[in-house]
Copies of this chain bind each other. A is one copy, B any other.
Amino acid sequence: MIDTLIGRLPAGRVITDPDVLDSYARDRTFLEPGKPLGAVLATSREDVVTTLKWATENRVPVVPRGGGTGLAGAATAMDGSIVLSLAKMTAIRELSPADEIAVVEPGVITADLDKAARRHGLMYAPDPSSYEISTIGGNLATNAGGLRCVKYGVTRDSALGLEVVLADGRVLNTGRRTMKGVTGYDLTGLFVGSEGTLGVITAATVRLRQAPKAPPATFAAEFGSLRDAGAAVSAIMAAGCQPSLMELLDRATLQAIDAMRNIGLEDATMAMLIGQSDASDSAAVVARMQELCEENGAAFVAVSSSPAETEELIGVRRMAYQAKERLGACLVEDVCVPRSLLPDMIEAIERAAAKHGVKICTVAHAGDGNLHPVFVFDHGIPEPPPEIWAAADEVFTQALALGGTLTGEHGVGLLKKRWLGLETGELGTEIHHGIKAVFDPLGILNPGKAI
């Protein structure tokens, strides 16, 4: 069957070699994919249109894909599907410093857009941890967050308009290239975070922002209790300090980092808070944040305003994931709670770990209340054992009980589907499927994901 698709596309667009194909069928989760028919490496909107028309005619499921860095299984391919990679659509079609916007194709690496913007004194704000390897298209599909979003918002807040190919191959333009606009329903917002289930994004008009003019200043504070660290976070936000990042590391994470590279972890340190200001008076703001940490019980606060020292402090945060991977295979989760409940959520995670005898290391985008509990299990086994799922179930249930959400920035994909109904409810689920049917009546776009 795939031969008819190969015939319609320019030469070299379709991969069918099973070994190569397998790498296009997975994301960064442990999930074992099915066997897709092939992977289309689209280089143009026309390739996407051709692929989707063919898929509609033949009722073949299509799994859109960016950099494959997802953590929820949204890009996991199923048997008999076509993988549609947008990674080769890498043009920055336009970058307007005057209007602070760019028009980009979905395969642009997020960091590359940021670099291009910086040449004009601008930045592309969203910076998921994967931003040097993930694509704008993938970021849009999952409404990616990141470290800077505590100040600058998530991907949705930078998306102004989209060019989308619908399941039947028709091209829809949504949104605008202006800062404001209320014509019609917010279709741009509807596509952002929809994980490829409503259409395939082939271009996006995104908002750029003025890059900070001065180098950032940074602090790292050690706390003897999670409650104290949480109180410091609240105090910093309430003081209007507007940190450009604010990350909390729990003791399990710090131990993992200490084991990998000696950071001189004290026995009494239960949490570390790392914050940054990119304001024009960043040193003064960080001095204020330092004071607030000390007032809230910090045992030690290191402060830096030189780029090298800053790299060292932030480097501790950057090591977190790598350090955990040395401990075992990782299931990375992503709950988000109202900010004031951050300590409660971390304690609930610790209870779940103790109860089920599993290792959980937690890092949080503390200013947003967004936690990444990483469930560690043996490298040798193909997927998380039952006690991990039992602990995860408790973590999700507790996040919802605290007025939180299952996923702050990674998405639902396949991994969180079993808990989805708890958050969206029966009517919400019905509405989601109704909307899905408007865009994709045959249900060929990334079936089984997200909703």
Contact = CB atoms under 8 A, between A and B. Distances in A.
A339 B99 contact: yes
A190 B190 contact: yes
Nearest to A334: B182
Contacts of A410: 182
Given A98-B340, A193-B185, A432-B185, A157 B154 contact: no
A339 B98 contact: yes
A18 interface: no
A44 to B, nearest CB: 20
Interface stretch (A60-68, A76-84, A166-174): A166-174
Given A240-B210, A427-B172, A183 B407 contact: yes
A186 B181 contact: no
B240 A424 contact: no
Interface string A401-419: 0011111111110001000
Nearest to A99: B338
Nearest to A404: B178
Interface in A412-451: 412, 416, 420, 423-425, 427-428, 431-432, 434-435, 437-439, 450-451
A360 to B, nearest CB: 20
B238 A185 contact: no
Contacts of A192: 186
Contacts of A409: 180, 182
Residue among A186, A190, A451 with the most chain B CB within 10 A?
A186
Contacts of A100: 237, 339
A434 to B, nearest CB: 4
Interface string A305-340: 000000000000000000000000000000011111
Interface string A341-372: 10000000000000000000000010111100
A122 to B, nearest CB: 9
A217 B21 CA distance: 60
- Main DSSP-derived SS at the A contact region: loop
Nearest to A451: B184
A178 B408 CA distance: 9
A12 B279 CA distance: 55
Contact of A156 (B186, B336, B338): B186
Nearest to A150: B179
A282 interface: no
Nearest to A411: B182
A119 interface: no
Contact of A176 (B172, B280, B405, B416): B405
A234 B432 CA distance: 41
A85 interface: no
Given A97-B238, A173-B428, A193 B182 contact: yes
A336 B153 CA distance: 23
A410 B181 CA distance: 9
A288 to B, nearest CB: 10
A301 B427 CA distance: 57
B408 A180 contact: yes
A338 B182 contact: no
Nearest to A436: B185
A447 to B, nearest CB: 16
Given A181-B407, A181-B408, A184-B420, 20 more contacts: A98-B338, A98-B340, A99-B338, A145-B180, A170-B427, A172-B427, A176-B336, A176-B405, A177-B338, A182-B407, A183-B405, A183-B407, A184-B423, A184-B432, A185-B190, A185-B194, A185-B435, A186-B186, A190-B190, A434-B439
15 contacts: A96-B340, A99-B369, A172-B427, A176-B403, A178-B337, A179-B367, A179-B368, A180-B408, A182-B405, A182-B411, A184-B412, A185-B198, A185-B451, A213-B240, A438-B438
